[in-house]
């Protein structure tokens, strides 16, 4: 059974069909890439999967369970974590507070219980902070623990956002352009890190990515979107040399093969 299966997702904004009959599957332990030129509908597809947009047609399955109509926070509680294209974190809070916020669904106490400040709540808060510290150590970010987000560099923020996604012990990680704004060396490092995360934590990943060397290095399977439709799929090498993919990225005309 696939961890994530998307069946014939279609979403329209007025007359524009942003995603048109997209189907894809992500299996256990796989890292799957979703590529495509700007405006191809990759992020829209992501938003359908996470529940920010309601798909007009089609279904999303998570480990065989139909989650198409589930609200985003319910999906997060199931173990589906996501990152955003332009860093989705709570800007007015510190690094530690963000990692604590990201563990919202596994706090183990109710909101009204929290206000009593009873021992059980204090104990859980200590455990959540310890877990946050463990994540910071894993990512080598212990130094910035108590810094406000505003004082951090973009690269650190991207890494921290990954940390926030990991803080909730996800089973499936959806990464929206994790390497955006990174140089070749940094993105190589990121690739190593993603592979290490899969090895150590056993997370399955679906990532939107433009950076071809990164995709080639980490992805087991790649889907390419163009104008909302699936253009090609296969292993990275196959897709990289696919004439229509090359044409879509470089803007060349493709001969109609009747």
- Candidates 191, 180, 244; CA nearest to 219 is 191
Alpha-carbon span 99 to 70, nearest angstrom: 24
- Single out the residue of 8, 39, 69, 86 in contact with another protein (rule: CB under 8 A): 86
- Single out the residue of 29, 54, 69, 71 in contact with another protein (rule: CB under 8 A): 71
Q: Binding string to another protein for residues 123 to 162, with x set by CB under 8 A, is what?
A: --x-------------------xxxxxxx-----------
Binders in 6-45 for another protein, by CB under 8 A: 43
Q: Binding string to another protein for residues 92 to 111, with x set by CB under 8 A, is what?
A: xxx-xx--xxx-xx-x-x-x
Nearer to another protein, 154 or 252 (CB): 154
CB 32 within 8 Å of CB 205: yes
Q: Binding string to another protein for residues 187 to 226, with x set by CB under 8 A, is what?
A: ----------------------------------------
223 Cβ neighbours under 8 A, 6+ residues apart: 24, 32, 33, 34, 35, 230, 232, 233
Half-sphere exposure (CA, 13 Å, Cβ side) for 157?
19
Nearer to another protein, 77 or 138 (CB): 77
Nearer to another protein, 171 or 233 (CB): 171
91 binds another protein (CB under 8 A): yes
Q: Which residues pair with 221 in a beta bridge?
A: 32
What per-residue string of b and e applies to 83-122 under the rule 16 or more CB within 10 Å gives b? beeebebeeeebbbbbbbebbeeebeeeeeeeeeeeeebe
Q: Is 215 left (phi over 0), alpha (psi -120 to 50) or beta?
A: alpha
The region of 22-30, 65-73, 207-215, 217-225 touching another protein under the rule CB under 8 A is 65-73
68 binds another protein (CB under 8 A): no
- Single out the residue of 29, 66, 69, 116 in contact with another protein (rule: CB under 8 A): 116
47 binds another protein (CB under 8 A): yes
Nearer to another protein, 14 or 117 (CB): 117
The region of 56-64, 83-91, 210-218, 240-248 touching another protein under the rule CB under 8 A is 83-91
Q: Tell me how crowded residue 7 is: count the other CB atoms within 10 A of its CB.
A: 17
Q: Which residues pair with 5 in a beta bridge?
A: 25, 61
Whole-Å CA distances, 238 to 74, 78, 242, 255? 36, 33, 6, 19
Q: Which residues pair with 81 in a beta bridge?
A: 173
65 binds another protein (CB under 8 A): no
Alpha-carbon span 208 to 5, nearest angstrom: 16
Q: Give the footprint of another protein on this chain (CB under 8 A).
A: 43, 46-47, 50, 52, 71-73, 76-77, 81-82, 84-94, 96-97, 100-102, 104-105, 107, 109, 111, 114-117, 121, 125, 145-151, 164, 168
């Amino acid at each position: 059974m696939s961890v994530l299966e998307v069946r014939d997702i279609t979403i329209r904004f007025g007359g524009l069909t942003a995603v048109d009959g997209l189907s894809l599957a992500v299996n256990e332990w796989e890292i799957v890439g979703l590529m495509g030129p700007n405006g191809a509908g990759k992020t829209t597809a992501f938003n359908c999967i996470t529940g920010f947009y309601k798909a007009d047609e089609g279904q999303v399955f998570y480990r065989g369970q139909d989650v198409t109509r589930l609200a985003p926070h319910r999906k997060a509680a199931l173990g589906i974590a996501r990152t955003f294209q332009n860093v989705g974190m709570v800007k007015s809070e510190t690094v530690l507070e963000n990692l604590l916020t990201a563990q919202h669904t596994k706090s183990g106490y109710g909101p009204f219980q929290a206000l009593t400040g009873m021992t059980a709540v204090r104990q859980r808060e200590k455990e959540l902070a310890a877990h946050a510290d463990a994540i910071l150590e894993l990512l080598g970010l212990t130094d910035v623990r108590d810094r406000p987000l505003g004082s951090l560099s973009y690269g650190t923020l991207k890494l921290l956002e990954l940390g926030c996604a990991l803080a909730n012990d996800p089973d499936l990680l959806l990464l929206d352009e994790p390497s955006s704004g990174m140089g070749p060396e940094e993105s190589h490092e990121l690739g190593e890190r993603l592979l290490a995360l899969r090895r150590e934590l056993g997370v399955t990943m679906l990532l939107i990515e433009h950076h071809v060397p990164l995709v080639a290095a980490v992805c087991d399977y790649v889907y390419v979107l163009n104008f909302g439709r699936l253009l090609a799929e296969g292993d990275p090498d196959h897709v990289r040399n696919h004439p229509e993919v090359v044409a879509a990225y470089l803007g060349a005309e493709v001969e109609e093969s009747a």
